[in-house]
Chain A
Amino acid sequence: MAEQELTPKAKEEAPAKAERVRPGRVFIPAVDIFETPQALVLVADMPGVGGDNVILDLKENLLVIQGQVGPLPEKETMLAQEYAIGDYYREFQVGELIDKDKIEATVKNGVLTLTLPKAEKAKPRRIEVKTG
């Protein structure tokens, strides 16, 4: 990849699905989704979210990822704010059959990586053609 300079992007606010219990704003995290022969991998940028603050849910074909971010420490006052602070929320329709028991999730440096292994049924299978 050529040398590229990063440009800032304003966070996109997530549409309100229901009455929220937690105060504050909710944003849509940027994601990469790719598929390998074995699994579907989802990578989401959720700065400020640690491993304990991720909520994952897969029901039927609906995958929901959530990340909670704490507010500014109480003793601090904001002098200049360029980026907004809030939780993250995003939903995905998962087309593939997923082996729910083998889902793996890791959070590192504010990036969530979710590996959703395909169920046996959904893996491509090569059929041997016998010649007789």
Chain B
Amino acid sequence: MPIFFESDLFQELDRLQRQMDALFQNVAGRERAPRVGVYPLVNISEDQDHIYVRAELPGVNPEDLDITIKDQHLVIRGERKIPTEEKDVNYHRRERESGFFRRVVRLPVQVDPNKVEAACKDGVLTVTLAKPEQVKPRQITVKGA
């Protein structure tokens, strides 16, 4: 006799994953330690009506960004280009890197895929996602007797 249905099992694994993440987050300090192959790093915040996913992408042109959303997954793809200088240039320091990136972000709640906006300002990408009505907090009036 199966103890879990498949979906229950996945939900359980997901719950465990989140608990582990929370644990490590507390140990490591305010930010989670960057993992290999996960670029860009993202910060996720919320207010009453929206979820905000932000990523630092300095020097990335908005036209080189490709953002898609499917179910509860937001995909940020793109390329960071650094123009190469002419030949008679002598480099003293080269710390900035160019290359491709792809990041899948699992959103904390289901969102309305038709109400997603993305904006890039000063090298920071902000994806604004609308929360569906059923997850928004609702004020409940307490009736007197």
Residues of chain A touching chain B, judged by Cβ–Cβ distance below 8 Å, are 1, 3-10, 30-37, 43, 45-50, 72-73, 75-85, 107-111
Contact = CB atoms under 8 A, between A and B. Distances in A.
Given A34-B89, A82-B31, A48 B123 contact: yes
Contact of B32 (A36, A49, A82, A111): A82
6 contacts: A1-B98, A7-B39, A32-B94, A80-B108, A109-B58, A109-B120
A85 B54 CA distance: 11
Interface stretch (B7-15, B45-53, B66-74, B133-141): B45-53
A48 B34 contact: no
Nearest to B121: A50
Interface residues of B, number: 54
A8 B99 contact: no
Contacts of A110: 56-59, 122-124
B59 to A, nearest CB: 4
B93 A6 contact: no
Given A1-B98, A4-B98, A111-B59, A33 B122 contact: no
A16 B47 CA distance: 33
Interface in B88-118: 88-101, 108
A73 B54 CA distance: 12
A3 B89 CA distance: 23
Contacts of A83: 31, 40-43, 55-56
Interface of B: 25, 30-48, 51-52, 55-61, 80, 82, 84-86, 88-101, 108, 120-124
B127 to A, nearest CB: 13
Contacts of B41: 8, 82-83
Contact of A31 (B37, B80, B95, B97): B95
In the A-B complex, list the 7 residue pairs whose CB atoms are closest, starting with the nearest.
A110-B123, A4-B99, A47-B56, A47-B123, A110-B58, A82-B41, A8-B34
B122 A78 contact: no
Contact of B45 (A7, A8, A78): A78
Given A47-B122, A47-B123, A82-B42, A33 B93 contact: yes
B134 to A, nearest CB: 18
Contact of B46 (A8, A34, A45, A76): A76
Contacts of B48: 75
Contacts of B89: 34-36
Most A-side CB within 10 Å, residue of B33, B56, B99:
B56
Nearest to B50: A76
